[in-house]
Amino acid sequence: MEFGSQHIWMKEDPLDELRAERGALVAAGRTFIDLSMINSDLPPPRLLLDRLMEASAKSDNHRYAVSRGVRKLREGFATKYRNRFGVNLDPEGEVCVTMGTKDALSNALQVLCAPGDGVLLGMPTYPAHLSAVRLARLTPSFFLLQQNEEAMLQDIVQSLRKGTIKLVLLNFPNNPTGISVSMQFYKELLKLTSAEGVFVINDFAYGEMSFSGNPPSILAASTTRVLVAETYSLSKGYNVPGWRVGALLGSHEAIRNVARLKAFIDYGLFLPIQYAAAAALGATEDLTGPTVRTYQQRLRLVVKQLVERGYQVEMPSAGASLWIQIQGSQTAKDYTLRLLREQGIILMPGELFGREFSNHVRLAVVGSEERLRDVVARM
Where does the pLDDT of residue 18 fall: very low under 50, low under 70, confident under 90, or very high at 90 and above?
A: confident
- Do β-strands 360-364 and 321-325 pair in parallel, antiparallel, or remain unpaired? antiparallel
Position 181 scores a pLDDT of: 97
Encode burial over 194-222: b for 16+ CB neighbours within 10 A, e otherwise. Answer: beeebbbbbbbbbbbbbbeeebbbbbbbb
Neighbours of 243 (CB within 10 A): 22
- The H or E element that residue 373 is part of is helix 369-378
Peptide bond into 173 cis (omega under 30): yes
For 24-74, what is each residue's pLDDT tens digit? 887 888 888 999 999 999 999 999 999 999 999 999 999 999 999 999 999
In tens, the pLDDT along 171-198 reads 999 999 999 999 999 999 999 999 999 9
CATH code at 5-43+288-378 = 3.90.1150.10
* Percentage of residues in the chain having pLDDT higher than 70: 96
> pLDDT tens for residues 208-251?
999 988 899 999 999 899 999 999 999 999 999 999 999 999 99
C-alpha span between 97 and 107 (Å, rounded): 12
Q: Which one, of 193, 208, 265, lies nearest residue 240 by Cα? A: 208
pLDDT band, very low/low/confident/very high, at 16 (cuts 50, 70, 90): confident
- Domain extents in the chain: 5-43+288-378, 47-281
Q: Note the pLDDT of residue 29.
A: 80
CATH of 47-281, one of 3.40.50.1860, 3.40.640.10, 3.90.230.10, 1.10.10.10: 3.40.640.10
Is the CB of residue 93 less than 8 Å from the CB of residue 256? yes
Tens digit of each residue's pLDDT (9 = 90 or more) over 326-377: 988 889 999 999 999 899 999 999 999 999 999 999 999 999 999 999 999 9
